[in-house]
Amino acid sequence: DTWPKDVGILAMEVYFPAQYVDQTDLEKYNNVEAGKYTEGLGQTHMGFCSVQEDINSLCLTVVQKLMERTQLPWDSVGRLEVGTETIIDKSKAVKTVLMELFQDSGNTDIEGIDTTNACYGGTASLFNAANWMESSSWDGRYAMVVCGDIAVYPNGNARPTGGAGAVAMLVGPKAPLVLERGLRSTHMENAYDFYKPNVASEYPLVDGKLSIQCYLRALDRCYTLYRQKIQKQWKQAGIDRPFTLDDLQFMIFHTPFCKMVQKSLARLMFNDFLSASSDTQNSLYKGLEAFRGLKLEDTYTNKDVDKAALKASLDMFNKKTKASLYLSTHNGNTYTSSLYGCLASLLCHHSAQDLAGSRIGAFSYGSGLAASFFSLRVSQDASPGSPLEKLVSSVSDLPKRLASRKRMSPEEFTEIMDQREQFFHKVNFSPPGDTNSLFPGTWYLERVDELYRRKYARRP
């Protein structure tokens, strides 16, 4: 085995906008029943960008902050790849804009470019980075994976499931979060559940109900395959027993809205239930007995299954998944970076000791559709100064940073959404607004000239 050991995530940086709208305020403003967004979707706040921010500025900020935090020299990165579905140019990659940060140091020898398929681009980039490191192309340097998106919807029932943010991850050997080898399962198919055919608009076309079914179907398929793969590995090692959720200490999901994730964990338990022996079904899965013999594919719209599985999996949800929803609850969907924001939230709410040695299951979903189930093995060493302890403490300021954002009214939010529509693809302008309302150290769009060329500046 000549591969580098323990390739995975060494360090992370999370960025979200400095302003948000409260979902209770939005319920009133949109004249819907109280609780529809906060209880029904499980969302309390939604972050959103001003017109001074675009996908390039979000990614510039998160990369610069990660480099500052790790204090690595700019020439130590040999691959940088961006996962995003927020497209402002059909040819020029966000990656090319990020080169602005590296080229001053003389480092222009950086592989990787943008990867796009809805929320899946970040995961594709992470897989590519690990593949590079485990291939003959690797030159011994770090890889950086950047995922970010501005998730916005037109007025209507999808709008409260928006959000915005970015995550940058440093990938390398001897990582505290190791991508487990041979344990990725994928399901891809052609679906029109959410897509962006209109290049003149930031908004997607979305069939909400279909998208939920597609997500759950992909989850079932990926989980089934993942279990087969791990059981095969186990068999080779002499272990012969079924894999269940008990073998994952934590489980994180792409999070379009938090309720969807609670239902997804319940769905995984339902998968375990259907494939268990009847003795195990009786002893371990109380409340699901009535659904014995059902086929997964016949239950996507079965509200009784939904309710019973939610109830049966509540303890498990509280233990394995709830902490990972912290950022999503307060900031909303961030498409490609959603899953990695969940990872950061999970790390932020557990000590290095709690996490050491555990296995984290991860489900990534991007409409259209592309999905994977994979797992991260957390290193055993949680001692002070260990890579794990450093990673955990680096995300511990998330709650404080979220609490320092500015609350905006639904009227102000709507006005800014209207402004974004108006300025999208406008030329020869400088976005209006006070740059002091951005977090310190944030990059912002300074000017778009008459040839659509964008110029960025950084708030001190």
In whole angstroms, how far apart are CA 377 and each of 141, 162, 238? 22, 31, 20
Q: Which stretch binds ligand HMG (CB under 6 A): 39-47, 105-113, 409-417, 423-431?
A: 39-47
* CA 276 to chain centroid: 31
If binding means CB under 6 A, how many residues of this protein chain bind ligand HMG? 29
Q: Should residue 119 be labelled a site residue for ligand HMG when binding is judged by CB under 6 A? A: yes
What's the rounded Cα separation, in Å, for the pair 206 and 160? 13
Cβ contacts of residue 63 below 8 Å, gap of 6+? Answer: 13, 80, 98, 101, 144, 146, 168
Which amino acid is residue 201, in one-letter code?
A: S
* Among 52, 70, 107, 161, interactor with ligand HMG by CB under 6 A: 161
Q: Does 366 bind ligand HMG (CB under 6 A)?
A: yes
The answer to whether residue 187 is catalytic is no
Cα Rg of the chain, angstroms:
22
Under 8 Å CB-to-CB from 338, ≥6 apart: which residues? 119, 163, 254, 255, 256, 328
Count the Cβ atoms, other than its own, within 10 Å of residue 242: 14
Q: Does 302 bind ligand HMG (CB under 6 A)?
A: no
Contacts with ligand HMG in 210-249 (CB under 6 A)?
Answer: 211-212, 215
- Is 214 designated active site? no
Q: Is 119 a known active-site residue?
A: yes
Minimal distance, residue 259 CB to ligand HMG, in Å: 6
446 contacts 457 by C-beta, under 8 angstroms: yes
Report d(CA 372, CA 369) in Å as an integer: 10
Rule CB under 6 A: say whether 33 interacts with ligand HMG.
Answer: yes
Q: Is 361 in the site for ligand HMG (CB under 6 A)?
A: no
Does 157 engage in binding with ligand HMG (CB under 6 A)? yes
How many Å apart are CA 155 and CA 171, to the nearest integer? Answer: 39
Strands 77-83 vs 114-115: parallel, antiparallel or unpaired: parallel
Query: Which residue of 102, 194, 223, 273 would you call a contact of ligand HMG, by CB under 6 A?
Result: 194
Stretch that binds ligand HMG, among 124-132, 204-212, 229-237, 268-276 (CB under 6 A): 204-212
Report yes or no: 186 and 372 within 8 Å, Cβ to Cβ.
yes
> What secondary structure letter does DSSP report for 4?
P
With respect to ligand HMG, which residue has the nearer C-beta, 141 or 263?
263
- Strands (DSSP E) found in 272-315: none
CB 416, min distance to ligand HMG, A? 20
Query: Does 206 contact ligand HMG by CB under 6 A?
Result: yes
Q: Considering the candidates 49, 119, 147, 258, report the single residue annotated as catalytic.
A: 119
257 binds ligand HMG (CB under 6 A): yes
When asked if residue 36 is in the footprint of ligand HMG (CB under 6 A), the reply is: yes
Known catalytic residues are 85, 119, 254
Q: Which residues bind ligand HMG (CB under 6 A)?
A: 33-36, 39-41, 85, 118-119, 157-158, 161, 194, 206, 208-209, 211-212, 215, 254, 256-257, 260, 333, 335, 365-367
